[in-house]
Chain A
Amino acid sequence: MILEPVDEQGWLDSALAVAEAHGRLVTLWGRNAGPDSYEVYAVYFDPAFGLSGVIFTLSHEGSTYPDLSELFPSAGRMQRTIWDLLGIAAAGSSDNRRWLDHGNWEKNYHPLRKSNSGLEISELKESDDYSFVEVSGDGVHEIAVGPVHAGIIESGHFRFSVVGEKILRLEERLGYVHRGVDKAFEKYHGIDGVQLAGRISGDSTVGYAWSYCMAVEAAWKCEVSKRANSLRALMLERERIANHLGDLGAIGNDAGFAFGLTQFMLLKEQWLRLNKDLFGHRFMMDAVVVGGVACDIDALGISRIREQCEQIRKEVGTLRGIYDDHAGLQDRFLTTGHVSTDVATRLGVTGLVGRASGIAEDGRINFPPYPYSDLQVNISVAQTGDVAARVSVRFDEILESLRLISELLSNLPEGAIHSLSKVPAEATFGVGWVEGWRGGIFAGIHLDKAGMVDRAHMHDPSWQNWPALEYAVIGDIVPDFPLINKSFNLSYAGHDR
């Protein structure tokens, strides 16, 4: 991917060109490039040209970059994050509330400035005064949910404005599980940073680790063997299936069908146990490393995977029949949590949720690393954009991933599983983009001449999809929120970093 330096006009022109070509904003990040020197990066995707990127350099600390949130609504929270982390502002943006900074850092503290060590600690406050948008009218009241949720869920806050049972507006507030990942990366050598990358969102550890490695390997021009990349794809598809199994069970449960949860969680448990046997970890953490993978697979392992895939295929087929024929379940799924193709396009919705709203984008097809370039992945798209569509795409993707696993095992290339060429003695930059089970996980990694991470930006697809959840619930009733939320199943940890 080429990064083009632009001036203010170029920054706006490039954004406009992408918007006109029905492309979308992938991610935005900022960097303290030197004393009193800042850069902002924007990466775009459009189906015709693939990934493209621009860099805008700010001449001094007080200067600004042009706002993109008018063209790409998802830019709003990313720009607020750039302010919180780096202290550089988007000129002309309408929402300047802090996002990850909840008032628990020192005043005017921006951790990613190189003058800060990241260890500065301020006195903690009880709470800050975040101004939610107020909805007024006859009978309108607010329901505040979180950050501690009922059940075993990550932390975040939802503010509903409702009349009776009906949701008029949902406003999310995230950032509760911000762990300072971006700053923490600065302590790592490029080779070791993958451990941290694999713990940004635990349910996507393979996707994150691969994306990180892809970026570092691109920066260092390191060739990875075909076998290693095939094993990465094998693990990525296993991660996709594990999460889809869990979600299908949980979605059934949130619609009052506990049978579904019981059945799918059994399948998921069997799946994770085989991961542990073959890759040494139930979620395959630390199995993808810079230069390749940490563990190989033998003939016995291959036959165990094949056997399990066959059994899961049968079970999932039976359960899909039961879900499809269950009138009560379908009554809850159909038309609930609707995101139209228009809204999804406008918001830049991506990944699984985007495909359920008719957006035919999948990084395994549009930006395929080896072995996907050889595999011919069949995309799963649904048009209706409701819970039923997100369920159906998950079922389709499980079957497709089972097929891909079979193909990968049949054509597993011979060769080493790990190799690392000499780390170049110069500052480098690389990008990675991997289609995790939620959607594209983007990595932009800057490395210094000693091979240390200078700035690692890892973008979760949830950034685009959280705002879509706010739209999805409009007009639905409050009791449907858990079901809709589960059908999205977005990452708090991946978003908050």
Chain B
Amino acid sequence: MMWETVRQIRKTGIKSENPPVAQELSRLADNQTREIQDEILKVLGRALTIRLVDAGSCNGCELELQALGNAYYNLEGLGIKFVASPRHADMLLLTGPISRNMLAAMLITHDAMPDPKLVVAVGDCAVKGGIFGESYATIGAASNVIKVDFNIPGCPPEPLAILQGILSAVRYRLPR
């Protein structure tokens, strides 16, 4: 039994692909992984931890955020990790058109995060309201209620775009 598991692991091999670079630095294609890790280390002094709040997403963005953890994108290999507690988080990822029923929980989560903290809007809904816009049920763009440091558009944005966005936010938007 155990033998089958080990054989499958060996057969699968290493699938991780090179990560993208932060948007404005695409010319620096060499040693990407190390550069990103160095950057995260320099800016934050440690790994990057992320707290996600789904504020009315259709769950499409969540599927792509989950995909970031698969071996191809190997998010944790870059030192980036989703955490359960906002108190452990450096970055707040927001998805959805900020449903009114999630606003209080979203703001409490943000308050609970230690400074410096980054807010990144993921997906067309959080970026600009998307197909749902503003209504009795939704506030629309996250920037209507909170200071957003970086936007990652797309419906949903693909894992590489999210990864690139996260890295760009860290590199260029984090207060030093």
Contact = CB atoms under 8 A, between A and B. Distances in A.
A322 B136 CA distance: 50
Residue of A154, A176, A259 with highest tally of chain B CB at under 10 A: A176
A298 B167 CA distance: 38
Interface string B46-69: 000000111111111111111101
A259 B55 CA distance: 31
B105 interface: yes
The SS class assigned to the A binding surface is: loop
Interface in B56-111: 56-67, 69-72, 82, 84-86, 96-97, 99-106, 109
A402 interface: no
Interface stretch (A23-31, A35-43, A114-122, A346-354): A114-122
A492 B132 CA distance: 16
A334 interface: no
A202 B100 contact: no
Contacts of A150: 84-85
A265 B102 contact: no
Given A120-B136, A177-B96, A322 B1 contact: yes
Contacts of A322: 1, 4-5, 8
Interface stretch (A266-274, A302-310, A467-475): A266-274
A177 B136 contact: no
Contacts of B1: 322, 325-327
A225 interface: no
A118 B134 CA distance: 9
B115 to A, nearest CB: 20
Contacts of B66: 152, 246, 265
Contact of B70 (A126, A266, A496): A266
Contacts of B149: none
A168 B119 CA distance: 39
Interface string B109-152: 10000000000000000000011111111100000000000000
B121 to A, nearest CB: 16
B58 A109 contact: no
B70 A119 contact: no
Interface string A122-133: 101111000000
Contacts of A319: 8
Interface in B22-65: 52-65
Contacts of A183: 135-137
A326 B66 CA distance: 25
B59 A493 contact: yes
A111 interface: yes
Given A104-B101, A266-B71, A322-B1, A118 B136 contact: yes
Contacts of B57: 154, 177, 202, 493
Contacts of A282: 64, 158
B15 interface: yes
Interface stretch (A55-63, A193-201, A384-392, A413-421): A193-201
Contact of A202 (B58, B82, B86): B58
A148 interface: yes
A361 interface: no
Contacts of B86: 148
A285 interface: yes
Given A176-B99, A199-B60, 6 more contacts: A147-B105, A179-B97, A266-B12, A322-B1, A325-B4, A493-B56
Interface of A: 100, 102, 104-105, 109, 111, 116, 118-122, 124-127, 147-148, 150-155, 175-181, 183-184, 195-196, 199-203, 205, 246, 259, 262-263, 265-266, 268-269, 272, 276, 282-283, 285, 318-319, 321-322, 325-327, 491-493, 496
